[in-house]
């Protein structure tokens, strides 16, 4: 049986239609076609809209020609949805309905990226572990990022049987493969991936490191002990990623290690630890205030900054009490922290004053 690829068939149909259109001399039929007032086809809608605006070439401005193009577009759209017996190319839906994993796996090597994409999606929906090998190959080999992403997504749907192969892919030379494998592992949530993902936090590519941290946060609570250890003992990249992941997980057990990370010798680690404490929120307030009493030097300023990022009004009084013995740098840090706390709190009131709402409420005794 001869297989006609859809792009080729569409091109032939379009060329033949345009040829016949150019040969038409009497367009009485076209003149009888009623105007297209509404349509759900975005292409036809755009065509008619631009026709009315006069934004299309002169050749297409004749309504007769515009109406004759409608059947052509409809015919091409029909072939997008109808594929009898695979006449127009591989029938992915049919292979999926037959649970033909081997057939779908072969389509991952098809010349058409769209077919590869649909085959990867179908394999993910089937969830058969036999598809792990071909999908890993597609993840590593395919030059089209969309197909790679769909392969990674399919592997995450297959779940635990794909964990070993995905962990191995974390070492692949292509950074695009590494971060997609990391996200797939995060979606699966298997604890076997925790240590490999923590090692990936020291990757040379910053985006890969951030995706590894995100993947660890997706796994969640089981990663906290390992992340706390990495925050204390890892290199600067690992410490940064550990703080980032702990901030996303928001476990109060991470508060104390994050406070100590405010004294890190790397600015990016200190900043991420402060952001993580702010993300954890109220559970971090009391430990920060307690640590502030005995802190000295730069760590004292970092704690003040972290208190500002918490946006908690209960921190204002302890910060004001420190002003008496504070040096210039500490005074600035205290002022910035109080600003950070107060400004978001008074912004709604300021808006109401500017809108005149407060004045109206004062005049209306019912609202007092």
Domains of the chain and any CATH numbers:
6-86 (no CATH), 300-368 (1.25.10)
Q: pLDDT digits over 148-161, tens only?
A: 999 999 999 999 99
DSSP-derived letter for residue 265 is S
**In 3-state terms, what secondary structure has residue 325?**
helix
Confidence of residue 81 (pLDDT cuts 50, 70, 90): very low
Q: Which two tokens stand for residue 364?
A: 């209306």
Annotate 73-103 with b (16+ C-beta within 10 A) or e (fewer).
eeebeeeeeebeeeebbbbbeebbeeebbeb
- Percentage of the chain exceeding pLDDT 90: 52
DSSP secondary structure, 104-172, as one string: HHHHTT-S-HHHHHHHHHHHHHHT-GGGHHHHHHHHHH-S-HHHHHHHHHHHHHH-GGGHHHHHHHTT-
Which phi and psi angles does 303 have, rounded to 5°?
Answer: -65, -40
CA 348 – CA 241 distance, rounded (Å): 35
| Measured torsion, CA atoms of residues 194, 196, 201, 204, in degrees rounded to the nearest 10 | -160
Distances (CA, A) of 320 to 238, 313, 330: 36, 12, 11
For residue 276, pLDDT over 90 is answered with yes
Q: To the nearest 5 percent, what fractions of the chain are helix, strand and coil? A: 80, 0, 20
- Terminal C-alpha separation, the chain: 84
CA 336 – CA 313 distance, rounded (Å): 14
Q: Are 238 and 230 in contact (CB under 8 A)?
A: yes
The secondary structure element, H or E, covering residue 74 is: helix 63-81
Mean pLDDT on 79-103: 72
Confidence of residue 335 (pLDDT cuts 50, 70, 90): very high
CA 263 – CA 48 distance, rounded (Å): 65
Mean pLDDT on 159-174: 96
Exposed / middle / buried, residue 349 (Cβ in 10 Å: 0-12, 13-18, 19+)? exposed
Task: Determine the longest span between alpha carbons in the chain, in angstroms.
Answer: 96
Q: Are 16 and 100 in contact (CB under 8 A)?
A: no
Neighbours of 136 (CB within 10 A): 22
Confidence of residue 43 (pLDDT cuts 50, 70, 90): very low
Region label for 315, one of left (φ > 0), alpha (ψ between -120 and 50) or beta (otherwise): alpha
Q: Which residues contact 199 (CB under 8 A, 6 or more apart)?
A: 170, 238
* Residue pointed to by tokens 């994993």: 101
Confidence of residue 298 (pLDDT cuts 50, 70, 90): confident
For residue 187, pLDDT over 50 is answered with yes
Q: pLDDT digits over 251-261, tens only?
A: 999 999 999 99
* Residue pointed to by tokens 């001399």: 25
């Amino acid at each position: 049986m001869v297989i006609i690829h859809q792009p080729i068939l569409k091109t032939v149909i379009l060329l033949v239609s345009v040829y016949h259109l150019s040969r038409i001399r009497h367009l009485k039929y076209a003149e009888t076609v009623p105007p297209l007032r509404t349509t759900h086809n975005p292409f036809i809608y755009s065509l008619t809209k631009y026709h009315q605006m006069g934004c299309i070439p002169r050749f297409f401005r004749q309504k007769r020609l515009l109406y004759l193009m409608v059947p052509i577009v409809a015919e091409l759209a029909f072939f997008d949805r109808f594929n009898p017996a695979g006449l127009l190319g591989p029938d992915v839906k049919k292979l999926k309905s037959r649970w033909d994993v081997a057939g779908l796996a072969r389509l991952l090597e098809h010349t058409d990226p769209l077919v590869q994409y649909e085959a990867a999606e179908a394999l993910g929906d089937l969830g058969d572990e036999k598809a792990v090998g071909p999908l890993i190959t597609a993840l590593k080999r395919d030059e089209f990022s969309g197909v790679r992403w769909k392969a990674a997504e399919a592997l995450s749907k297959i779940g635990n049987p794909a964990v070993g192969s995905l962990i191995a892919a974390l070492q692949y030379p292509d950074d695009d493969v590494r971060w997609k494998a990391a996200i797939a592992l995060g979606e699966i949530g298997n604890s076997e991936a925790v240590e490999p993902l923590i090692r990936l936090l020291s990757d040379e590519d910053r985006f890969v490191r951030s995706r590894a941290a995100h993947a660890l946060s997706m796994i969640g609570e089981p990663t906290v002990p390992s992340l706390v250890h990495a925050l204390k003992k890892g290199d600067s990249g690992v410490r940064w990623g550990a703080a980032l992941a702990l901030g996303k997980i928001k476990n109060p057990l991470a508060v104390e290690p994050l406070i100590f990370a405010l004294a890190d010798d790397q600015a990016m680690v200190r900043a991420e630890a402060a952001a993580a404490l702010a993300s954890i929120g109220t559970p971090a307030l009391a430990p920060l205030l307690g640590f502030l009493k005995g802190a000295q030097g730069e760590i004292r300023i970092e704690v003040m900054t972290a208190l500002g990022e918490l946006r908690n009004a209960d921190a204002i009084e302890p910060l004001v009490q420190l002003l008496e013995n504070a040096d210039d740098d500490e005074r600035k840090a205290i002022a910035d922290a109080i600003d950070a706390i107060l400004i978001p709190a008074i912004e709604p009131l300021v808006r109401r004053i500017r809108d005149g709402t407060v004045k109206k409420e004062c005049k209306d005794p019912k609202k007092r």
